[in-house]
Amino acid sequence: MVARFNIPPGTDALWQQRLSLLLDSTDEGMFGIDLQGDCVFINRPGASLIGYEPAELLGRNMHALTHHSHPDGRPYLDSDCPIFKAFRQGLPCRIDSEVFWRRDGSSFPVEYSSQPILDGTEVRGAVITFVDITERRRAAQALQRAHDALQRSNDVLEQRVQERTLALSEALGRLRELSAYSERVREDERTRIAREVHDELGSLLVALKMDVNWLHKRLGEQAAREPEAAQDMRGQMRCKCQNMSRLIENAVDNVGRIITDLRPSILDHQGLWAALEWQAHEFAQSAELALEWCMSVPETLSLPEPAAMAVFRIFQEMLSNVGRHAQASAIDVLIELRDAQLHLRVQDNGVGASPQALEAPTAYGVMGMRERARHLGGVLLIQSTPGEGSCFHLQIPLEAP
């Protein structure tokens, strides 16, 4: 925007009158200069901002009076002044990075704009409007200080969060290492107990059964040669021997079940795949469920003993979860090798469960399966919808860590 006044030659009084009307309509500082930079008019707010009366400024060079130095005190040549550069070329300008100087030698930050005054196409001077932006600068500086303080606080907070996160990650890593170590110790202890129960208690029960059978046989042989009263006594004793034999047989079965729960011998003798199939059929038979079994794994494939035991325990927990919660009538078991990963999936047609139930802090079985899978470098995926059954899907890489 360029200020234009149709000023006939020699009518400076008319020009000044029109400019005076413009000056009276604003609260900002405003002054006009001719081509030499001398003041031809100034409003009272503008004169007051630089510490003068308006009459004192008329005819004086405004650049030398109030724009003579940079903010750091270096001289400011009028040839470098944006006001002079702009209006001498007939162009406007707006600056907010400089200062004006007061009568007492102090300065204040200012935002000013310069509009050339044209008489037709001829530049006659310029009108400069300016305002003291000290408070604006203070507010901006205060805002910047607050922003910097907030940024420093955020940096400190972020650093603390990172430190706490790192500490928690390290603690979680140690906790998982401890959990894995505890699982290894638990399996070793189970193996030891199973071996001792088998070797000690199993042998004692077998020997006791043999002795009872021997006693039963001897009582039968001598019964025919004794009086009738003695025969009745021996008959009662033989009944007791038979009862004892049945109890011993039940004890042997219970010991075998306990040993199998502690450490399935089939896992050691025939490998993981046979153990998984045996466990699935045993569970389906005991729970009276229909079993759909599908396993496509190379016979030569084998996992390290700790990994095989972990997979077997995860599979046991999957089946146990079906037995405790699913109320299912059928299960579908799929074991296959795909994309260099072992996939083990157990799906039932039971009542299902909500995601909240599976993620609950008390869902220890699910947490245990996930921790075992994570220790193997794998993942346990669970899909379950109330009323539509559940699917537990274990994925582990062949090269388990």
Query: 270-397, which class in CATH?
Result: alpha beta
Q: For residue 14, how far is the Cα from the chain centroid?
A: 74
- pLDDT at 89 (0 to 100): 80
Strands (E) located in 133-170: none
Is the Cβ–Cβ distance between 82 and 95 less than 8 Å?
yes
- In CATH terms, is domain 3-132 a member of 3.30.450.20? yes
What are the sequence ranges of the domains in the chain?
A: 3-132, 167-254, 270-397
pLDDT of amino acid 179:
73
Question: How far apart are alpha carbons 192 and 333 in whole angstroms?
Answer: 31
Tokens matching residue 38: 């001398």
First to last CA, the chain: 75
Q: How far apart are CA 76 and CA 54, in angstroms?
A: 24
10-residue mean pLDDT series, the chain (401 residues): 42 61 74 89 90 92 92 88 81 90 93 87 88 91 92 90 88 76 74 73 78 76 60 74 83 77 76 89 90 88 85 90 88 90 92 84 84 88 89 84 44
What is the pLDDT at residue 12?
A: 58
Structure confidence at residue 3 (pLDDT): 41
Give the list of residues 6+ apart from residue 312 with CB closer than 8 angstroms, or none: 264, 267, 272, 275, 276, 279
Structure confidence at residue 17 (pLDDT) = 66
Supply the DSSP symbol for 362.
T
